[in-house]
Every structure is written in structure tokens, then in C-alpha cells.
Amino acid sequence: MSTATTIRRTALNETMRKYGGKMVDFHGWELPIEFSGILKEHEAVRKSAGIFDVSHMGQVFVTGADAFKLLQRTNANDLRKATPGKGVYSHVTNENAGLVDDIIAFCLAPDRYLVIVNATTSTKDYEWFKAQGARMHVKVENRSDDFSMVAVQGPNVPKMFEEFAPEALKLPRFGIVEKDIFGEHCYVSRTGYTGEDGFEVTAPHKIIVQVWEKMMELGKPYGIIPCGLGARDTLRLESGYLLYGSDVDDVHTTYESGYGWVVCLDKGDFIGRQVLVDQKANGVKRRLTGVTLTGGVPRTGCKVFMDGKEIGELNSATYSPTLKKGIGVGYMTPPNLKPGTPLEVEIRGRRVKAEAAAVPFHKGTAFSKTLYTGK
Amino acid sequence: MAKPEEVKYTKTHEYVLPGAEATVGISDHAQHEMGDVVFVELPKVGQKLEKEKPCAVVESVKSAFDIYAPVSGEVTAVNDAVTGEPALLNQSPLEKGWLFKLKPSNPGEADALMDWAAYQEFVKQAAH
């Protein structure tokens, strides 16, 4: 637990309180866990619109002639996919192919990238990029303290942007546009952590309250409600999105996490590539596997059994409001359990019937091939 | 239905409506703190409960909470409605969302618990 002296507050802190946010200490950040209730907030995002303060997320700018080279060398994904105005979800890998972080790298221009990093890892990522780029023509800046961020998520969110940022409607998934909002230089991307279509607005602190209030106003016809970390977690886990520090870390590799599609072995060398080449050839011993159950709510740390033998434990687990059952993911050995394989999960000393499940558990509008592009 | 003033409260936020067959549940404050309840595990009819020992579990989306027996006694009835519809604990903790009834083995035990005014003060103090 952080003490009162070290707790960090976002520029939206007072606004969160005004809207009734139940504030908690989240890795040293004071953020709302919920407003009107996790189930209600979850449903609003799945069916219409919800808004989140995600200002704890970090922003690292990588600029200069070697910006592409540095990111290509430090990422498992191929940065060539990130042409100007586009981003890629990627894993920053260490020498053992463990994850320094999972990130989104946006190409703003051929020599200018914005990397969105996790809150708890922003300093580590910055130092990693800086060290790796020490002998390159590149400038790495950790500007996490300069920006706030709001995520507006849900199938009706694009309609809200007709007036606010019509150019954002033309963006594909992971697209980004730079835009002046309330007189300040901002970034609007078609991204999120909920599995629904929507946008994230990265903006200087001084206008973020205005951005939030504008979203509340534009979202009113769609019943937009403020959402907290609780719903953020149930939404991301249903969507099979990884949580750094819980599901992935410096040790587990991208192949083990079930995110093999992120790895581009044929793009040329990158840090940790050889380990991934070997894992691709020989297979992995453990893999992050989905589990569902109905006789309780699984939690992080619950042990998983198959034929009476322990095969792993859950890294993330919760109640799924969409499926109305318990869901979880954990590293299992054997690594290739077929969905439907009977398992047991130990909850409070009792083994509850469960089964292996495909991940994502639920595919929202973010997974759809066609996105709303405007009237 | 019980009124908040008629029931006694524990420091662990259970309530008991005293009587020959006492009704047990969680306080409105407790359900509010837990958030959306999605799973409830109740004791069995006939089970003997010991005061202050865990006897049921309430799970919200966020977390699992042990429920402690506010008084000792034998379970005479359980509320099957809440296992089917756990949200009743949020909507109506004192009426539809009760957990179980028991026959107290020591009727004097409930007297030692907090009344409404004392409980409200207790919750206020705990918030600081």
C-alpha cells in the first residue's frame, strides 16, 4: 500500500469524486473502482457507451532518424505495420523473450512515434528504450507526467464523435489522429481495453476536465456513464486482453501468453527473437489458457486441476457479467487444452467443476470487421 | 419485514433480527461496500453455527466476503431466492435479501450486539 504522501492523483480526480467515484489506491494512483456499480457500468460499455479516466497510462515519445529502428529492435511485432496514422499492439521483449511491457506504438510520422505504456512500467520502459537506443539517432522522452487520458468506449461512441472529431470516424482500429481540442494539441486513437469500439483521447491536463464533460454531454442521448477500474477489468478479461503484472511479466513469453500473432519472426532481428524461434520450433511447456465455471467466482491464485492433478493456477479471474459465469486465465501445463476439456478450480478449498475455454471469452464490437465510419 | 431499527448488528456487518427463529443477513452498509453481489454460498438447514465463526460466503464482482454467525444456533431455513438471484442482497438486504434463519442456542447473545444507533456510529468511526 502506498502512503498518503506518495499517492498520485490524476487531473480528473475532483471530477471523479464529483461523479461519485469510489476511490481506491491502484498501484499508487488514486482512481475510481466504481461509480454506479460494476455490472451497470459493464453493461453500459457493452451496449452503448461508458467513459473512463485512464490518465495513469504512460506516454513515451520516440523521435529521430532511428525511431523506427529502435522500436523495431525492441518489439516482437513488426513496426512496418504502423504506417503514419496507425498503431500496433506489441510486446517489448527482453533477452529471454519475457515482456518488458505490452504497449501500443503509434506512428505519427516516419520519424515520430507515440508509445502508450502501462502505468506501473512507464519508467522501466523509458529506461529500456533509452538504453537500447543509446547509440542510435533517436530521442526518447517519457512524457507520462504531461498527459491525461480518457477512454470513451461502447458501440454508440462513434456516433458521439460525429461532431466532436469527425476525422476520427475514418480511423481503422488502432488508427490515430493528431487534433487540436479546446486549443491544445491532442491525440485521438481508435483503441481501448474493453473489446468495444471507441476512442482514447490523450490530452494535456489543463483541458482534460473539459474533454470529460464534453463526452458526458455528447453521450447523454446514449446514456453514457462514468466507469471505474472494476468494469475495466471485467471488460478486458472477457475480451482476453492481457494485464501486465498479472498475466504477463518479465518471465513469461509472448508465445506462452497465447499472443503468438504479435510475434513477427521474419521481420529481422529483435531482442529475444532467438528464444521465440526456439519456442516456435519446439512448442511451449505452458500456455495462458481460458477457464469458465458456474459454481462460484474464481479469483487470482485459484489452483486448476485436470484428472485430479494440479496443472496451473489462475493469473486473472472474475465474474463475467456478459456470460454470467466465472472466467479466468492461467498458465497451464499441458499447453494445448482444447476448449471444453473438463477441469476443476479450487475455490476456498473446494474443487468446483470448470472447463477450458477459448479466449477471448466474448467478442465485442472492437472485434468486428467493419467499424462505423459516419453518416 | 425488518426495519433497520429492529435488528442488531455485528462489527463484521451482519445483522440479526432476534426471535425464537432469528433472521440473519448483511447490513445495507455492507452490501454497498461489497458492490454487485453475484454469488452466495449458504449454510445447510440443520447445521449448527457458532457465534463469530464463518458460516456463509457472499461474492461480489470485486471480491469474496466471509459471513460470520452473529449468534450461535441451528440453521432452520435458508433463503434459496438469493442463491438464484444474488442481486437481492443489494436491492433489499433486510427484506428479500436475508441469508438464513436460525434457532439461537443462547438467546442472550443478541443483546450484546450493536443497536441501530450504535452501528451507525460504528460505521462512521470506521470511515475515519
Q: Mutate which of B58, B62, B63 to test chain A, going by most A C-beta atoms within 10 A?
A: B62
Q: State the amino acid at position A304 in one-letter form.
A: V
Indicate whether B80 pLDDT > 90: yes
Q: How would you classify the pairing of strands A309-320 and A225-226?
A: unpaired
Please classify residue B27 by burial: count the beta carbons closer than 10 Å to its beta carbon, then call 0-12 exposed, 13-18 middle and 19+ buried: buried
Query: Is residue A323 within 8 angstroms of chain B, CB to CB?
Result: no
Are B61 and A38 in contact (CB < 8 Å)? yes
> Which residue of chain A has the CA closest to B64?
A297
Q: State the amino acid at position A41 in one-letter form.
A: E
Q: How far is B63 from chain A (nearest CA, A)?
A: 8
**Ranges of CATH 3.30.1360.120 domains, chain A:** 8-54+146-238
Query: Is residue B64 within 8 angstroms of chain A, CB to CB?
Result: yes
> Residues A88-98: what's their mean pLDDT?
98
Q: Mutate which of B33, B44, B61, B85 to test chain A, going by most A C-beta atoms within 10 A?
A: B61
> What is the pLDDT, as a whole number, of residue A375?
79
d(CA A218, CA A225): 11
Are B39 and A319 in contact (CB < 8 Å)? yes
What is the residue-wise DSSP string for B58-95? EEESS-EEEEE-SS-EEEEEE-HHHHH-TTHHHH-TTT
> Residues B2-7: what's their mean pLDDT?
83
Full-model pTM: 0.95
CATH class in words for A285-357: mainly beta
d(CA A143, CA A123): 10
State the Cα angle at A163 between A159 and A167, rounded to 5°.
85
d(CA A58, CA A114): 10
Q: What ipTM goes with this model?
A: 0.90
- If we measure between CA atoms, which residue out of B40, B100, B52, B92 comes closest to residue B74? B100
Query: Is residue B114 within 8 angstroms of chain A, CB to CB?
Result: no
Show which of residues 36-95 on chain A sit within 8 Å of chain B, judged by CB atoms: 37-40
Each residue's pLDDT tens digit, A105-123: 999 999 999 999 999 999 9
Are B36 and A33 in contact (CB < 8 Å)? no
State the Cα angle at A317 between A245 and A287, rounded to 5°.
65
> What is the pLDDT, as a whole number, of residue A6?
84
Indicate whether B106 pLDDT > 50: yes
Residues in chain A within 8 Å Cβ distance of B59:
296-297, 319
Are A319 and B57 in contact (CB < 8 Å)? no
DSSP letter at A318 equals E
Please classify residue A32 by burial: count the beta carbons closer than 10 Å to its beta carbon, then call 0-12 exposed, 13-18 middle and 19+ buried: buried
C-alpha cell at A317: 479471474
> What is the pLDDT, as a whole number, of residue A4?
52
The answer to whether the CB of A51 falls within 8 A of the CB of A222 is no
**Ranges of CATH 2.40.30.110 domains, chain A:** 285-357
Phi-psi map region of A114: left, alpha, beta (phi>0 left; psi -120 to 50 alpha): beta
Three-class SS state of A335: coil
Percent of chain A with pLDDT over 90: 97
Q: How far is B91 from chain A (nearest CA, A)?
A: 12
C-alpha dist (Å) from residue A98 to A21, A188, A245, A359: 36, 30, 12, 21
Element (H, E) at A62: strand A58-63
Residues in chain B within 8 Å Cβ distance of A40:
36
Each residue's pLDDT tens digit, A128-171: 999 999 999 999 999 999 999 999 999 999 999 998 999 999 99
> What is the pLDDT, as a whole number, of residue B5?
84
How large is the angle between the packed helices A229-238 and A38-47, nearest 10 degrees? 50
Q: Is the peptide bond before B18 cis (omega within 30 degrees of 0)?
A: no
CATH number for A8-54+146-238 (one of 3.30.1330.10, 2.60.40.10, 3.40.630.40, 3.30.1360.120): it is 3.30.1360.120
Question: How long, in residues, is chain B?
Answer: 128
> What is the pLDDT, as a whole number, of residue A1?
46
> What is the pLDDT, as a whole number, of residue B2?
72
> What is the pLDDT, as a whole number, of residue B1?
61
- Considering CB atoms only, which of B61, B64, B90 is closest to A234? B61
- If we measure between CA atoms, which residue out of A292, A288, A294 comes closest to residue A313? A288
3-state helix, strand, coil in chain A (%, to 5): 25, 35, 40
- Considering CB atoms only, which of A38, A40, A321 is closest to B62? A38
Q: How far is A231 from chain B (nearest CA, A)?
A: 9
Cell 506462452 sits on residue: A256
- If we measure between CA atoms, which residue out of A246, A260, A249 comes closest to residue A330? A246
Element (H, E) at A348: none
Are A39 and B39 in contact (CB < 8 Å)? no
Q: What is the mean pLDDT of chain B?
A: 95
Neighbour tally for B105: CB within 10 Å: 14
C-alpha cell at A64: 529521430
> Residues B20-31: what's their mean pLDDT?
96
Query: Is residue A24 within 8 angstroms of chain B, CB to CB?
Result: no
Each residue's pLDDT tens digit, A41-70: 999 999 999 999 999 999 999 999 999 999
Query: Is residue B36 within 8 angstroms of chain A, CB to CB?
Result: yes
d(CA A39, CA A228): 11
DSSP letter at A256 equals T
DSSP letter at A68 equals H
- The set of residues, in sequence order, having a beta carbon less than 8 Å from that of A98 and lying 6+ positions away, is A249, A250, A251, A252, A253, A272
Q: Compute chain B's Rg from CA coordinates.
A: 13
What is the CATH code for B9-123? 2.40.50.100
